């Protein structure tokens, strides 16, 4: 039940004045002159007016109050989200060109200039990718030319990746010593996942069960090269793969880059959308510099001129004070309580977006007349979105280079309203952070960073003390996905920090019980038996599917048996079937004749065997067969 918010501002100026005048005969009987010209009445009117104002203020919930309430609920840092993306060069770039992190890039969006900044260091590469060849079982399977920087998407190691399959990039030109390949995967039809996996990057690299080997071939001589950084995590995600080429390459050399699969455990085969040699990751942010003359007062406050800080915590806010041509940097601290008189410290209050200085005892006072320089980054939120390809990117200091964005620059979001922030907190409260119930384990397992977990079933393992067994099924393009050991370890590692202290977690693979169904049916005249057979088998396969099956199409329920009535209701809706004479089961389960159900273990899902369909050709009438 929600709390009823009281209405405090329920009377106004007139009510205050009338009530006060009505009390005068009792509280001040000697005061007999109540005309408007009486000075006492003037004071009474003024006090009624002040009371009305105070009551109005008491009844209001100001933005400052809302921010304090949100801070109590854990929402300390309201911020806009910057649009992010990638730009690439339309041609080879000289290896002498180096662009540092944070370099400004200008772009005109809807007749407004927007400033972006680079997120990675760019090293020019004069080479271009001329052709991509894909080999399966040592045989050339695909050969595609790269036209204007675009290619037709392809499976890197096949739809079902096999060890020793590889692809190679045939370069036109000589690559620079610093070689950066941005590999973009096509993930358009895949479910979303928790993208905070990079926080655990080193552990993932050490324990990864997928092994790739990279080589460079120079004039038919092949050398092994090791990535110095692989943000794609062995082509699991879109990201940059960086190398240092320390082999001498002549100007006329033929150069190939080869990626070979040595150990495969992909849940989803990498489907490469494009590969770029000269690419820069960018985000929309602008550097703001404000110059304010110091008042020289103790506890001086300055309000920043922009709200949409790129980092709402204010960690990027820098303060400098210019005095007599000399500029000195001040230090940001969380509190001035420990600052001394000579300490040049300041506080940034993110709730009010104010910079606070000391009082001369706890923190120095910015001297009168000196110039206070405030530096910080802001983002323009949704106005920084570039929906389509654009070719007019201008990098400050490198105006001669031509860059374009092959995909949209998206992901921006303006500062959310207070209502939306409260709604987000409520939704966050509904999501467990500690695994207590079995439902908590199932919810949290699906949130494992970097994994697409399709199905989870948690239950108490009574054979082990204090043990919760968690069955996980990965998302896969295949029909019967099976996680590898690495997948299970990652889920277990994610749950381990969220379990109760005495609980033991056992993340296990699903068991698939093979089940086949035989139908004996009669069809309507003039219907094709082959088509009816195909439709029946496809309907049963889909109904029993571990990811898409069941009545709600969210996957067949763990441990649920197959009832005769389930199949009867499913098949009789297929066009062309007149009636069903018999339904029988075969496979690894057990048929309970009394309950008319084919049972499986509680940890199990169903793997369909070959389903059989036979037809009744006689004139036997329908009805009563089951």
pLDDT of 410 reads 85
Give me the pLDDT at residue 241, please.
Answer: 92
Averaged pLDDT, 562-588: 90
Q: CA–CA distance from 606 to each of 435, 543, 574, 612 (Å)?
A: 28, 10, 22, 17
Same domain? For 230 and 253 the reply is yes
Residue 146 belongs to domain with CATH number = 2.60.120
pLDDT at residue 66, rounded to an integer: 82
Please give the pLDDT value at position 134. Answer: 94
- One domain, residues 362 and 455: no
Residues 483 and 359 in one domain: no
Q: Are residue 132 and residue 272 in the same domain, yes or no?
A: yes
Last residue of one domain, picked from the residues 227, 249, 277: 277
Q: Are 185 and 270 in contact (CB under 8 A)?
A: yes
In Å, the largest CA–CA distance within the chain is 117
Q: Residue 469 belongs to what domain range?
A: 431-508
Please choose, from the candidates 307, 284, 304, 376, the residue with its C-alpha nearest in 3D space to the C-alpha of residue 79: 307
Q: How many CA atoms lie within 13 A of 388 on its CB side?
A: 1
pLDDT one-digit tens code per residue, 491-541 = 999 999 999 999 999 999 999 999 999 998 888 888 888 999 999 999 999
Quote the pLDDT of residue 478: 81
Q: Is 504 helix (H, G, I), strand (E, B) or coil?
A: strand
Residue 419 confidence (pLDDT) above 90: no
pLDDT for position 198: 64
Same domain, 353 and 214: no
Could you say which of 508, 539, 557 is where a domain stops? 508
CB hemisphere CA count around 218 (13 angstroms): 15
pLDDT at 618: 61
**Between 218 and 313, whose confidence is greater?**
218
- State the pLDDT confidence band at 620, using cuts at 50, 70 and 90: low
Burial of 562 (0-12, 13-18, 19+ CB in 10 A): buried
**Is pLDDT above 90 for 150?**
no
Whether the per-residue pLDDT at 23 is higher than 90: the answer is: no
- Quick one: pLDDT at residue 626? 42
pLDDT tens for residues 203-221? 777 778 899 999 999 998 9
Kindly state whether residues 454 and 518 are assigned to the same domain: no
Domain co-membership, 185 together with 216: yes
Going by pLDDT thresholds of 50, 70 and 90, the confidence category of residue 441 is very high
CATH number where 437 lies:
3.30.300.200
Cβ distance 104 to 287 under 8 Å? yes
pLDDT cut 90: percent of the chain above it: 40
User: Both 262 and 311 in a single domain?
Assistant: no
Does position 564 have pLDDT exceeding 90, yes or no? yes
Residue partners of 451: CB distance under 8 A and separation at least 6: 193, 194, 197, 474, 487, 490, 491
Lowest mean pLDDT among 161-175, 189-203, 558-572: 189-203
Average pLDDT over residues 431-448: 92
pLDDT tens digit string along 247-281? 888 888 899 999 999 988 888 899 999 999 888 88
Q: What is the average per-residue pLDDT within 368-389?
A: 87
Last residue of a domain, one of 508, 533, 551: 508
Shared-domain flag, residues 588 and 607: yes
Q: Helices marked H in 374-484 — which ranges?
A: 418-430, 438-445
The domain total for the chain is: 5
Q: What local confidence, expressed as pLDDT, does residue 437 receive?
A: 93
Mean local confidence (pLDDT), 591-618: 88
* Least reliable range by pLDDT among 7-21, 438-452, 533-547, 579-593: 7-21
Q: Are 301 and 321 in contact (CB under 8 A)?
A: no
Out of 104-113, 287-296, 357-366, 429-438, least confident range: 104-113
Q: How confident is the model at residue 625 (pLDDT cuts 50, 70, 90)?
A: very low
Residue-by-residue DSSP string for 580-605: EEEEEEEESSEEETTTTEEE--TTEE
Identify the pLDDT of residue 536.
Answer: 92
pLDDT mean across residues, the chain:
87
pLDDT surpassing 70 at residue 440: yes
The verdict on residue 116 lying in a domain is no
Q: Residue 493 in 3-state DSSP?
A: helix
Q: Which residues are CB-contacts of 411 (< 8 A; sequence separation ≥ 6)?
A: 81, 82, 83, 84, 85
Q: With 90 as the cut, is the pLDDT of residue 133 above it? A: yes
Q: Give the pLDDT of residue 27.
A: 83
Tell whether 7 is covered by a domain.
Answer: no
Contacts with 139 (C-beta within 8 Å, 6 or more apart), sequence order: none
| Residue 418, in any domain of the structure | no
> Does 328 share its domain with 374?
yes
Q: What is the 3-state secondary structure (H, E, C) of 563-578?
A: EHHHHHHHHCCCCCEE
- How far apart, in whole angstroms, are the C-alpha atoms of residue 115 and residue 284? 6
Q: Which of 161-165, 228-232, 313-317, 446-450 has the weakest average pLDDT?
A: 313-317
Range 446-452 average pLDDT = 89
Q: Is residue 111 part of a domain?
A: no
pLDDT score for 166 = 95
Predicted pLDDT of residue 415: 77
70 in a domain, yes or no?
no
Element (H, E) at 491: helix 485-496
Q: Is residue 560 scored above 70 in pLDDT?
A: yes
Higher pLDDT, 421 or 546: 546
Query: pLDDT at residue 202 above 80?
Result: no
115 falls within a domain = no
Segment among 122-126, 311-315, 468-472, 552-556 with least mean pLDDT: 311-315
User: How crowded is residue 75: how many other Cβ atoms within 10 Å of its Cβ?
Assistant: 17
Residues 157 and 228 in one domain: yes
388 lies in a domain? no
pLDDT: is 440 or 16 the higher one?
440
Average pLDDT over residues 91-97: 81
Domain identity same for 235 and 315? no
Instruction: Give the confidence band of 307 by pLDDT, cuts at 50, 70, 90.
Output: confident
How does residue 549 score in pLDDT terms, banded at 50, 70 and 90? Answer: very high
Q: Does residue 625 lie in a domain region?
A: no
């Amino acid at each position: 039940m929600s709390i009823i918010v009281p209405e405090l501002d329920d009377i106004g100026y007139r009510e205050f004045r009338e009530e006060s005048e009505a009390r005068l005969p009792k509280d001040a009987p000697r005061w007999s002159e109540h005309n408007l010209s009486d000075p006492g009445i003037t004071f009474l009117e003024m006090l009624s007016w002040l009371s009305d104002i105070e009551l109005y203020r008491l009844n209001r919930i100001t933005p400052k109050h809302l921010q304090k309430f949100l801070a109590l609920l854990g929402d300390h840092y309201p911020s806009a989200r910057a649009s992010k993306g990638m730009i690439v060069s339309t041609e080879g770039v000289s290896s002498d060109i180096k662009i540092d992190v944070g370099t400004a890039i200008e772009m005109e969006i809807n007749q407004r200039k927007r400033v972006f900044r680079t997120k990675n260091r760019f090293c020019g590469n004069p080479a271009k990718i001329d052709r991509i060849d894909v080999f399966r079982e040592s045989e050339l399977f695909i050969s595609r030319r790269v036209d204007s920087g675009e290619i037709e998407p392809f499976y890197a190691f096949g739809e079902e990746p096999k060890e020793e399959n590889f692809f190679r990039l045939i370069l036109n030109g000589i690559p620079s010593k610093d070689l950066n390949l941005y590999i973009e995967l096509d993930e358009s039809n895949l479910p979303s996942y928790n993208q905070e996996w990079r926080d655990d990057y080193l552990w993932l690299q050490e324990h990864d069960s997928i092994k790739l080997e990279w080589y460079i071939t120079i004039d038919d001589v092949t050398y092994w090269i090791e990535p110095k950084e692989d943000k794609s995590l062995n082509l699991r995600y879109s990201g940059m793969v960086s190398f240092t080429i320390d082999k001498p390459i002549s100007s006329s050399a033929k150069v190939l880059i080869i990626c070979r699969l040595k150990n495969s455990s992909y849940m989803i085969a990498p489907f490469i959308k494009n590969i770029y040699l000269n690419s820069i990751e960018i985000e929309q942010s602008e550097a703001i510099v404000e110059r304010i003359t110091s008042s020289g007062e103790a506890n001086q406050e300055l309000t920043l001129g922009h709200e949409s800080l790129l980092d709402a915590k204010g960690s990027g806010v820098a303060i400098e004070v210019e005095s007599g041509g000399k500029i000195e940097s001040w230090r940001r601290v969380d509190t001035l309580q420990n600052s001394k008189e000579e300490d040049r410290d300041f506080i940034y209050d993110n709730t009010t977006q104010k910079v606070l200085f000391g009082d001369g005892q706890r923190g120095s006072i910015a001297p009168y007349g000196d110039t206070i320089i405030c530096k910080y980054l802001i983002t323009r939120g949704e106005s920084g979105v570039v929906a389509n390809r654009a070719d007019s990117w201008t990098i400050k200091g490198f105006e001669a280079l031509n860059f374009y964005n092959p995909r949209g620059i998206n992901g921006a979001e303006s500062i959310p309203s207070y209502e939306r922030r409260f709604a987000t907190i409520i939704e966050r409260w509904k999501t467990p952070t500690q695994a207590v119930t079995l439902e908590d384990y199932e919810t949290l397992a699906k949130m494992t960073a970097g994994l697409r977990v399709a199905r989870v079933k948690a239950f108490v393992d009574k054979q082990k003390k204090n043990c919760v067994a968690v069955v996980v099924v990965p998302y896969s393009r295949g029909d019967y996905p099976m996680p590898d050991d690495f997948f299970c370890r990652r889920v277990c590692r994610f749950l381990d920090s969220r379990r109760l202290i005495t609980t033991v977690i056992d993340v296990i693979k699903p068991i698939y019980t093979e089940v086949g169904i035989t139908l004996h049916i009669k069809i309507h005249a003039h219907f094709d038996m082959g088509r009816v057979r195909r439709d029946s088998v496809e309907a049963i396969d889909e109904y029993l599917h571990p990811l898409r099956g069941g009545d709600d199409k969210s996957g067949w329920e763990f441990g649920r048996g197959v009832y005769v009535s389930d199949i009867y209701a499913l098949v009789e809706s297929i066009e062309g079937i007149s009636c069903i004479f018999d339904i029988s089961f075969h496979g690894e389960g057990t048929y309970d004749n009394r309950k008319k159900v084919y049972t499986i273990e509680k940890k199990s899902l169903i793997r369909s065997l070959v389903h059989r369909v036979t037809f009744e050709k006689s004139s036997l009438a329908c009805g009563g067969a089951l």
